[in-house]
């Protein structure tokens, strides 16, 4: 995860947090995690799918191939070996190739994992501990391609869930353009503006209660 953010990237995000918190009572916590869940079922799902593809190919060849070169494939031992090898290949690829692994994980499973992990991050980072309950967690889960914005009680009383849509969009656009730090900084800026518009103004005796730095986690 350290390779994901350069020192310049850390500075961009931290400066965005500082700037946003100068005009609002919100305490913004940017949090990036490599993945929110371990999806054990992907290996056997991939194994079954790859095995089925092998079965279809073997059956098709037995119907339409008239040559002798692949005669061994149509024996029990040959066919079983190819199917088993295909299943193992699928399981290994699903285990070590994230793009392929995601194909075998349902949206519901990823959503649940991200929601659970973001709730845990909210507690671990003590986002709930601010004086006026104005903490906000901006949670980015890279493997799942999900972003969650979790606000404390005073934030939720002023901001509707759908208001975070543009904050999430800023981050996703940043990732697509190859600049996660830039997208996160724009999202934080928008977050500060949104809170200011909802009259969550900064107090004269305001203190910086939560660190301004981005949190990077593997899991």
Question: Average model confidence (pLDDT) for the chain?
Answer: 91
pLDDT digits (tens, 9 = 90+) for 110-124: 999 999 999 999 999
Mention the CATH class of domain 7-37+106-217.
Answer: alpha beta
Domain with CATH 3.10.310.50 in the chain: 7-37+106-217
- The pLDDT, as a whole number, for residue 38 is 92
Cβ-count burial 100-112 (b if 16+ within 10 Å, e if not): ebeebbeeeebee
pLDDT digits (tens, 9 = 90+) for 6-63: 999 999 999 999 999 998 989 999 999 999 999 988 999 999 999 999 999 888 888 8
Query: Can you give the three-state secondary structure of 165-199, one letter per residue?
Result: HHHHHHHHHHHHCCCHHHHHHHHHHHHHHHHHHCC
pLDDT digits (tens, 9 = 90+) for 177-191: 999 999 999 999 999
pLDDT at 77 over 70: yes
- The pLDDT, as a whole number, for residue 161 is 87
> What percentage of residues in the chain have a pLDDT greater than 90?
73
């Amino acid at each position: 995860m350290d390779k994901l953010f350069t020192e310049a990237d850390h500075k961009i995000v931290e400066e965005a947090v500082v700037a946003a918190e100068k005009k609002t009572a919100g305490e913004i916590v940017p949090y990036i995690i490599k993945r929110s869940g371990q999806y054990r079922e992907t290996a056997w799902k991939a194994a079954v799918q790859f095995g089925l593809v092998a079965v279809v190919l073997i059956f098709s060849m037995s119907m339409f191939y008239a040559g002798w070169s692949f005669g061994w494939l149509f024996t029990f031992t040959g066919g079983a070996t190819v199917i088993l090898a295909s299943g193992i290949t699928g399981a290994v690829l699903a285990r070590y190739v994230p793009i392929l692994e995601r194909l075998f994980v349902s949206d519901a499973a990823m959503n649940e994992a991200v929601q659970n992990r973001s709730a845990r991050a909210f507690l671990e980072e003590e986002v709930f501990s601010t004086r006026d309950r104005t903490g906000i967690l901006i949670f980015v889960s890279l493997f799942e391609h999900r972003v969650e914005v979790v606000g404390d009680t005073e934030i939720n009383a002023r901001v509707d869930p759908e208001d975070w849509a543009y904050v999430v969009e800023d981050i996703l656009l940043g990732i697509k353009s190859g600049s996660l730090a830039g997208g996160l900084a724009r999202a934080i800026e928008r977050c500060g503006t949104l809170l200011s518009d909802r009259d969550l103004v900064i107090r004269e005796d305001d203190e910086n209660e939560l660190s301004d730095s981005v949190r990077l986690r593997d899991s």
